[in-house]
Structure formats: C-alpha cells, structure tokens
Structure 1
Amino acid sequence: MKKTFKKAERLHKKKLIEELFSKGSYFYLPPFKVYYSVSSEVETNQMLVSVPKKIFKKAVERNKLKRRTREAYRNHKHLLLNNNKFLIGYIYTAKKLVTYDPIERAVLSSIQKLVRESINE
C-alpha cells in the first residue's frame, strides 16, 4: 500500500466540516483536541488539521505543525481500514512548538482509539 495523502483524504467541504464540529464527538490527547464523526457521505477517511493563529503568530510555525501532523497521520492511516469512514479533526492545543515524536505518538493513539470505538459499535 502506498503511503500518500491525497486530496480525497483531506476534509475540505464546508458541509462536512460543520457536521464534524456540530454532531461529532471529541477527546483530548495532548497536544491535540481530536474531533471525530462517522460519515456515510465519504468514500475514504478524511482529516483536517488546525493550528491557532492566536498562539502561533508566524505562519512558518503553524505550517510546520500541520505538516508534522499530516505526516504522522499518513504513516499510520492504514490502521483505520475498516467499514466505518471517519471525519477526523486535529486541533492543536499546546502552547509551544513540539517535535515530531510527541505528535506522532498522539496521532497513533488517536487512530488506535478510533479503531477501538468502531469495533465497539
């Protein structure tokens, strides 16, 4: 399986984003607040990353955190292969710039938690 992150996997439709934040559930997994929802409207799992401009004034820092998060998701998304199609939103909540390792651990833990929840349903 190729490890790519295609446009089809990016959550970008306004309707789906509103559905995620209004009807979806969430949990905290430092440094993220992870929103998730099961959707029948999408063919693949879709995710978005948000880093607040209020905390990280420089676009370079925000983009670096988003790149690191997308990379961690891309490396572990194969674990989400199941019948449910998730909408996932990663909201960065830490006040400081962190390295790749804590981000990868948090993303991996969140994916494992979503897999466990999909099995329990």
Structure 2
Amino acid sequence: MNQGFGKEYKLCSRKIIDALFSEGEGIKSYPFMIRYQITSLPKEIPFQIVITAPKRNFKRAVDRNRIKRLMREVFRKNRQELEEGLKEKNQQLALFIMYTGRELPDYDLIETKLKKALVKLNQALHIEN
C-alpha cells in the first residue's frame, strides 16, 4: 500500500470543518481529541484530516509545528486499518485531531497514544481490527 500522505488528504473545506464541530461526533483519548463525521468529500479518497495543536498551550510556533509534524508522521504510518475499513464500507470520513496535552511530547508518547486513539476511532466506526 502507498505510504504517501499528500495534499489530497488535507481537509480545507470550511463548510465540512464547521459541520464536523456542529454535527460530528467526538472521541477523547488523552492527549488527543478526535472529531469525526461520515460525509462526502470532494475527492475520491477515504478520509481527509486536520491536525492541530493549540496556541493556548504552546506559545511558540516551533513547538506547535513539531507536535503536528510528529502527529502527521504517526498517523501516516498507522492509517492502513482505517483506510481499508472505509474503502470496504464505501464511506468517506472527515477527521479533526487535536493535541490537548500541556507538555511537549516525544515521538514514542505520540505513537503509543495516537495508536490507542485510532483503535477507539475504529471501534466507533465499527471497523474490525
């Protein structure tokens, strides 16, 4: 399977993001908060995603960018199960993942915690492990 994580996976539609927060469902798995909604996306891919770290907790842009870069990398490596499950069901998903912790994490922490959060997401979407 292609391991790339290109621009087409980036959720940019303001309309979809607003609907995600008003109508979508949420999962909390410390230090992540995930908002998701099954929707139709403009491109023929299983999901589009927004990854963010709050300015309230991390004043320096370098810290926020590092957290987001680590999250993108971990998500890229562990997205196969979610992607295959959505393709089987012929569904598209809008995702918003926010880092809610207050300490600057390292790669190992993000990897273990984001894997747990993705397992919860798969269970919520009824995708078999």
Task: Indicate whether the TM-score tops 0.5.
Answer: yes
1:72 is aligned to: 74
Number of residue equivalences: 120
Query: Within 5 A, what are the aligned runs for 1:29-108?
Result: 29-42=29-42, 43-44=44-45, 45-80=47-82, 81-82=84-85, 83=89, 84-108=91-115
Counterpart contact for 2:32–2:117, Cα < 8 Å: no
Deviations 1:49-92 (A, max 9, x none): 11111211111000000000000110011111122322111111
Give how far 1:36 is off: 0.9
Amino acid paired to 2:113 = A
Whole-angstrom distance in 1 between the partners of 2:33 and 2:15: 20
Q: What TM-score, normalized by structure 2, do the two folds share?
A: 0.85
Where structure 2 has 5 or more consecutive residues not aligned to the other structure, the ranges are none
Task: Please give the per-residue CA displacement for 1:89-113, whole angstroms capped at 9, x wherever unaligned.
Answer: 1111111101111211222222222
Give the match's secondary structure for 1:36. strand
Cα RMSD for the two superposed structures: 1.5
Per mean C-alpha deviation after superposition, the further-off stretch among 92-101 and 64-73 is 92-101
With normalisation by structure 1, the TM-score equals: 0.90
Q: 1: distance between equivalents of 2:23 and 2:118?
A: 19
Unaligned runs of 5+ in 1: none
**C-alpha separation in 2, matches of 1:98 and 1:69:** 10
